[in-house]
Amino acid sequence: MKKMRGVVVAMTTPFTADGEVDFEALDSETEFLINARVHALYPCGTTGEMLFMTNEQREAVAKAVVDKAAGRVLVYIHVGAARIEDTIRLAQHACSIGADGVGVVTPLFFPLTDRELENFYITVSRSLPQDFPIYMYNIPQCSANDLKPEVCARIVARCKNVIGIKYSYCDMHRTLDYLQVREVREDFSVLVGFDRLLLPALRIGCDGTVSGAASVFPEPFVEVYEKYMAGDMAGAEAAMWRANDIVKKLKAGTSIGTFKEAQRLRGFGGGYVHAPLMEITEQEKELLRKELAMYL
Protein backbone atom coordinates (compact mmCIF):
# COMPACT_ATOMS: atom_id res chain seq x y z
CA MET A 1 0.00 0.00 0.00
CA LYS A 2 1.23 3.47 -0.90
CA LYS A 3 2.12 5.66 2.08
CA MET A 4 2.13 9.44 2.05
CA ARG A 5 5.51 11.03 2.63
CA GLY A 6 7.32 14.32 2.18
CA VAL A 7 5.18 17.34 1.38
CA VAL A 8 1.52 16.41 1.13
CA VAL A 9 -0.53 19.46 0.17
CA ALA A 10 -3.82 20.13 1.89
CA MET A 11 -5.45 21.72 -1.13
CA THR A 12 -7.87 24.62 -1.10
CA THR A 13 -11.16 24.28 -2.95
CA PRO A 14 -11.78 27.28 -5.23
CA PHE A 15 -15.42 28.33 -5.35
CA THR A 16 -17.34 30.70 -7.57
CA ALA A 17 -19.16 33.64 -5.98
CA ASP A 18 -22.34 31.56 -5.73
CA GLY A 19 -20.70 28.62 -3.95
CA GLU A 20 -20.12 26.26 -6.87
CA VAL A 21 -16.74 24.59 -7.40
CA ASP A 22 -14.52 26.47 -9.86
CA PHE A 23 -13.05 23.48 -11.71
CA GLU A 24 -10.86 25.57 -14.01
CA ALA A 25 -9.17 27.12 -10.97
CA LEU A 26 -8.92 23.68 -9.34
CA ASP A 27 -7.13 22.29 -12.40
CA SER A 28 -4.77 25.28 -12.29
CA GLU A 29 -3.99 24.66 -8.62
CA THR A 30 -3.43 20.94 -9.17
CA GLU A 31 -1.04 21.51 -12.08
CA PHE A 32 0.89 24.21 -10.21
CA LEU A 33 1.44 21.96 -7.21
CA ILE A 34 2.56 18.99 -9.30
CA ASN A 35 5.03 21.20 -11.15
CA ALA A 36 6.38 22.34 -7.78
CA ARG A 37 7.40 18.70 -7.09
CA VAL A 38 5.12 18.07 -4.12
CA HIS A 39 4.86 14.43 -3.13
CA ALA A 40 1.10 14.03 -2.74
CA LEU A 41 -2.17 15.93 -2.97
CA TYR A 42 -4.83 15.90 -0.26
CA PRO A 43 -8.08 17.57 -1.40
CA CYS A 44 -11.34 17.97 0.54
CA GLY A 45 -9.78 18.37 3.98
CA THR A 46 -9.88 21.22 6.46
CA THR A 47 -8.08 23.64 4.13
CA GLY A 48 -10.49 22.47 1.42
CA GLU A 49 -13.55 23.62 3.42
CA MET A 50 -14.92 20.10 3.34
CA LEU A 51 -17.80 20.66 5.76
CA PHE A 52 -19.23 23.44 3.58
CA MET A 53 -19.54 21.13 0.56
CA THR A 54 -22.22 18.66 -0.42
CA ASN A 55 -21.27 15.03 -0.94
CA GLU A 56 -21.74 15.55 -4.68
CA GLN A 57 -19.32 18.49 -4.69
CA ARG A 58 -16.75 16.54 -2.70
CA GLU A 59 -16.98 13.61 -5.09
CA ALA A 60 -16.62 15.92 -8.08
CA VAL A 61 -13.54 17.62 -6.57
CA ALA A 62 -11.99 14.25 -5.73
CA LYS A 63 -12.45 12.98 -9.29
CA ALA A 64 -11.17 16.23 -10.83
CA VAL A 65 -7.95 16.09 -8.83
CA VAL A 66 -7.38 12.37 -9.46
CA ASP A 67 -8.00 12.84 -13.19
CA LYS A 68 -5.77 15.91 -13.46
CA ALA A 69 -2.95 14.31 -11.48
CA ALA A 70 -3.15 11.27 -13.78
CA GLY A 71 -0.80 9.22 -11.64
CA ARG A 72 1.98 11.82 -11.53
CA VAL A 73 1.71 12.14 -7.73
CA LEU A 74 -0.20 10.32 -5.03
CA VAL A 75 -3.71 11.60 -4.38
CA TYR A 76 -5.33 10.90 -1.03
CA ILE A 77 -8.89 12.13 -0.58
CA HIS A 78 -10.10 13.34 2.77
CA VAL A 79 -13.50 11.77 3.35
CA GLY A 80 -14.38 12.50 6.98
CA ALA A 81 -17.91 13.79 7.51
CA ALA A 82 -20.45 14.36 10.25
CA ARG A 83 -22.29 11.12 9.43
CA ILE A 84 -20.51 7.77 9.22
CA GLU A 85 -22.74 6.87 6.26
CA ASP A 86 -21.35 9.86 4.35
CA THR A 87 -17.77 9.00 5.33
CA ILE A 88 -18.22 5.49 3.95
CA ARG A 89 -19.90 6.77 0.79
CA LEU A 90 -17.07 9.23 0.11
CA ALA A 91 -14.40 6.64 0.91
CA GLN A 92 -15.91 4.08 -1.43
CA HIS A 93 -16.17 6.72 -4.14
CA ALA A 94 -12.49 7.64 -3.71
CA CYS A 95 -11.57 3.99 -4.10
CA SER A 96 -13.73 3.64 -7.21
CA ILE A 97 -12.13 6.61 -9.03
CA GLY A 98 -8.55 5.43 -8.52
CA ALA A 99 -7.42 7.54 -5.58
CA ASP A 100 -4.37 6.18 -3.78
CA GLY A 101 -6.04 6.23 -0.37
CA VAL A 102 -8.18 8.26 2.01
CA GLY A 103 -7.82 10.33 5.14
CA VAL A 104 -10.57 10.13 7.76
CA VAL A 105 -10.98 12.70 10.50
CA THR A 106 -12.45 11.62 13.81
CA PRO A 107 -16.21 12.15 14.27
CA LEU A 108 -17.06 15.79 14.98
CA PHE A 109 -18.79 17.90 17.64
CA PHE A 110 -20.25 15.13 19.81
CA PRO A 111 -17.66 13.76 22.29
CA LEU A 112 -17.04 10.05 21.76
CA THR A 113 -15.50 7.48 24.05
CA ASP A 114 -12.34 5.63 23.09
CA ARG A 115 -14.46 2.55 22.40
CA GLU A 116 -16.69 4.54 20.04
CA LEU A 117 -13.72 6.04 18.20
CA GLU A 118 -12.18 2.61 17.77
CA ASN A 119 -15.44 1.19 16.45
CA PHE A 120 -15.80 4.12 14.03
CA TYR A 121 -12.48 3.44 12.31
CA ILE A 122 -13.03 -0.32 12.29
CA THR A 123 -16.40 0.19 10.60
CA VAL A 124 -14.89 2.46 7.94
CA SER A 125 -12.00 0.06 7.42
CA ARG A 126 -14.31 -2.90 6.85
CA SER A 127 -16.31 -0.96 4.26
CA LEU A 128 -13.26 -0.80 1.97
CA PRO A 129 -10.91 -3.30 0.32
CA GLN A 130 -8.23 -4.33 2.79
CA ASP A 131 -5.48 -3.20 0.41
CA PHE A 132 -6.92 0.34 0.09
CA PRO A 133 -5.04 2.55 2.58
CA ILE A 134 -6.58 4.74 5.26
CA TYR A 135 -4.94 7.46 7.33
CA MET A 136 -6.58 8.46 10.57
CA TYR A 137 -6.76 12.22 11.13
CA ASN A 138 -6.68 13.77 14.58
CA ILE A 139 -7.38 17.50 14.94
CA PRO A 140 -8.84 17.68 18.46
CA GLN A 141 -8.98 21.49 18.61
CA CYS A 142 -11.60 21.40 15.84
CA SER A 143 -13.28 18.01 16.11
CA ALA A 144 -13.88 17.85 19.90
CA ASN A 145 -12.48 14.30 19.87
CA ASP A 146 -8.89 13.28 20.62
CA LEU A 147 -7.59 10.04 19.14
CA LYS A 148 -5.16 8.63 21.69
CA PRO A 149 -2.06 6.67 20.63
CA GLU A 150 -3.20 3.56 22.51
CA VAL A 151 -6.53 3.67 20.61
CA CYS A 152 -4.63 4.03 17.34
CA ALA A 153 -2.58 0.98 18.25
CA ARG A 154 -5.72 -1.08 18.83
CA ILE A 155 -7.20 0.08 15.51
CA VAL A 156 -4.01 -0.71 13.60
CA ALA A 157 -3.84 -4.17 15.18
CA ARG A 158 -7.35 -4.91 13.91
CA CYS A 159 -7.32 -3.11 10.54
CA LYS A 160 -4.77 -4.04 7.91
CA ASN A 161 -5.64 -1.07 5.72
CA VAL A 162 -5.25 1.60 8.43
CA ILE A 163 -1.63 2.50 7.79
CA GLY A 164 -1.02 5.90 9.38
CA ILE A 165 -2.19 9.09 11.03
CA LYS A 166 -2.18 12.79 10.29
CA TYR A 167 -1.82 14.70 13.56
CA SER A 168 -2.75 18.38 13.36
CA TYR A 169 -1.78 19.71 16.76
CA CYS A 170 1.53 21.17 17.94
CA ASP A 171 2.38 18.55 20.55
CA MET A 172 5.69 16.81 19.91
CA HIS A 173 5.29 14.57 22.95
CA ARG A 174 2.08 13.16 21.48
CA THR A 175 3.76 12.87 18.08
CA LEU A 176 6.45 10.68 19.67
CA ASP A 177 3.71 8.55 21.19
CA TYR A 178 2.15 8.05 17.75
CA LEU A 179 5.53 6.91 16.43
CA GLN A 180 5.48 4.17 19.07
CA VAL A 181 2.49 2.62 17.32
CA ARG A 182 5.26 1.16 15.15
CA GLU A 183 5.62 -1.42 17.92
CA VAL A 184 2.35 -2.82 16.53
CA ARG A 185 3.23 -2.24 12.87
CA GLU A 186 6.76 -1.18 12.02
CA ASP A 187 5.81 0.78 8.93
CA PHE A 188 3.06 2.83 10.62
CA SER A 189 3.11 6.29 9.01
CA VAL A 190 2.99 9.53 11.01
CA LEU A 191 2.46 12.90 9.32
CA VAL A 192 2.26 16.24 11.09
CA GLY A 193 -0.43 18.73 10.11
CA PHE A 194 1.25 21.55 12.02
CA ASP A 195 3.55 22.48 9.15
CA ARG A 196 5.97 24.60 11.18
CA LEU A 197 7.11 21.34 12.78
CA LEU A 198 8.11 19.65 9.51
CA LEU A 199 11.87 19.54 10.08
CA PRO A 200 11.72 18.55 13.78
CA ALA A 201 9.14 15.92 12.86
CA LEU A 202 11.39 14.45 10.18
CA ARG A 203 14.24 14.30 12.66
CA ILE A 204 12.28 12.17 15.11
CA GLY A 205 11.09 9.75 12.43
CA CYS A 206 7.87 11.15 10.93
CA ASP A 207 7.27 10.71 7.21
CA GLY A 208 6.39 14.33 6.38
CA THR A 209 3.66 16.93 6.65
CA VAL A 210 0.16 17.56 5.36
CA SER A 211 0.53 21.30 4.86
CA GLY A 212 -2.10 23.94 4.14
CA ALA A 213 0.49 26.67 3.67
CA ALA A 214 2.11 24.54 0.96
CA SER A 215 -1.06 25.01 -1.10
CA VAL A 216 0.25 28.54 -1.67
CA PHE A 217 4.03 28.21 -1.31
CA PRO A 218 5.04 24.58 -1.74
CA GLU A 219 8.62 25.39 -2.71
CA PRO A 220 10.25 25.96 0.71
CA PHE A 221 8.53 22.89 2.17
CA VAL A 222 9.71 20.73 -0.73
CA GLU A 223 13.20 22.15 -0.24
CA VAL A 224 13.15 21.27 3.47
CA TYR A 225 12.32 17.66 2.65
CA GLU A 226 14.73 17.32 -0.24
CA LYS A 227 17.62 18.89 1.68
CA TYR A 228 16.89 16.73 4.72
CA MET A 229 16.77 13.54 2.67
CA ALA A 230 20.07 14.50 1.01
CA GLY A 231 21.71 15.00 4.40
CA ASP A 232 22.04 18.77 4.00
CA MET A 233 20.87 19.86 7.45
CA ALA A 234 22.04 23.46 7.06
CA GLY A 235 20.08 23.78 3.83
CA ALA A 236 17.01 22.14 5.40
CA GLU A 237 17.14 24.50 8.37
CA ALA A 238 17.45 27.58 6.14
CA ALA A 239 14.45 26.45 4.08
CA MET A 240 12.47 25.72 7.24
CA TRP A 241 12.98 29.28 8.50
CA ARG A 242 11.63 30.61 5.18
CA ALA A 243 8.68 28.25 5.37
CA ASN A 244 7.95 29.33 8.94
CA ASP A 245 7.98 32.99 7.95
CA ILE A 246 5.51 32.27 5.14
CA VAL A 247 3.24 30.29 7.49
CA LYS A 248 3.02 33.27 9.84
CA LYS A 249 2.35 35.75 7.03
CA LEU A 250 -0.42 33.51 5.66
CA LYS A 251 -2.04 33.21 9.09
CA ALA A 252 -2.04 29.48 8.46
CA GLY A 253 -4.75 27.61 10.28
CA THR A 254 -6.92 30.68 10.82
CA SER A 255 -7.66 32.24 7.42
CA ILE A 256 -8.46 30.25 4.29
CA GLY A 257 -9.36 33.57 2.64
CA THR A 258 -5.74 34.63 3.07
CA PHE A 259 -4.58 31.43 1.36
CA LYS A 260 -6.84 32.07 -1.61
CA GLU A 261 -5.80 35.70 -2.01
CA ALA A 262 -2.15 34.63 -1.89
CA GLN A 263 -2.84 32.01 -4.58
CA ARG A 264 -4.30 34.77 -6.75
CA LEU A 265 -1.15 36.82 -6.17
CA ARG A 266 0.86 33.84 -7.40
CA GLY A 267 -1.32 33.49 -10.49
CA PHE A 268 -3.11 30.18 -9.93
CA GLY A 269 -6.13 28.70 -8.17
CA GLY A 270 -7.71 31.07 -5.71
CA GLY A 271 -11.42 31.43 -6.15
CA TYR A 272 -13.82 32.49 -3.43
CA VAL A 273 -14.26 31.06 0.04
CA HIS A 274 -17.56 29.36 0.83
CA ALA A 275 -20.13 31.00 3.09
CA PRO A 276 -20.20 31.55 6.01
CA LEU A 277 -16.51 32.37 5.48
CA MET A 278 -15.88 35.81 3.99
CA GLU A 279 -13.21 37.25 1.70
CA ILE A 280 -10.48 39.20 3.44
CA THR A 281 -10.81 42.99 3.31
CA GLU A 282 -9.07 45.27 0.81
CA GLN A 283 -6.88 46.56 3.62
CA GLU A 284 -5.88 43.00 4.51
CA LYS A 285 -5.17 42.24 0.85
CA GLU A 286 -2.85 45.23 0.57
CA LEU A 287 -0.98 44.24 3.73
CA LEU A 288 -0.65 40.68 2.46
CA ARG A 289 0.82 41.89 -0.83
CA LYS A 290 3.45 43.88 1.06
CA GLU A 291 4.31 41.07 3.44
CA LEU A 292 4.65 38.46 0.67
CA ALA A 293 6.42 40.72 -1.83
CA MET A 294 9.82 39.14 -1.18
CA TYR A 295 8.42 35.68 -2.00
CA LEU A 296 6.36 36.52 -5.09
Q: Are 146 and 138 in contact (CB under 8 A)?
A: yes
Burial class (CB in 10 A: 0-12, 13-18, 19+), 64: middle
Distance from chain centroid for Cα 260: 16
Q: 42, 137, 167, 272: which is the annotated catalytic residue? A: 137
pTM recorded for the entire structure = 0.96
C-alpha–C-alpha distance, residues 181 and 111, integer Å: 24
Q: What is the pLDDT of residues 146-199, one digit of tens each?
A: 999 999 999 999 999 999 999 999 999 999 999 999 999 999 999 999 999 999
The verdict on whether 76 is a catalytic residue reads: no
* CA distance linking residue 87 with residue 77, whole number of Å: 11
| DSSP type of residue 44 | S
Give the pLDDT of residue 59: 98
Catalytic residue among 3, 68, 76, 166: 166
248 is catalytic: no
Report pLDDT for 216.
97
Is the domain defined by 6-295 classed in CATH 1.25.40.10? no
Query: How would you class 29 by CB atoms within 10 Å of its CB: exposed for 0-12, middle for 13-18, buried for 19 or more?
Result: buried
- pLDDT of the residue at 253: 66
Give the pLDDT confidence score for residue 255 in this predicted structure: 87
> Which residues have CB under 8 Å from 37's CB, separation 6+?
218, 222, 226
pLDDT score recorded for residue 260: 96
Mean pLDDT by 10 residues, the chain (296 residues): 96 96 97 98 97 98 98 98 97 98 97 98 98 97 96 98 96 96 97 95 98 97 98 98 95 86 93 95 96 94
Residues 66 and 76 sit within 8 Å (Cβ to Cβ): no
Find residue 191's DSSP bridge partners: 166, 208
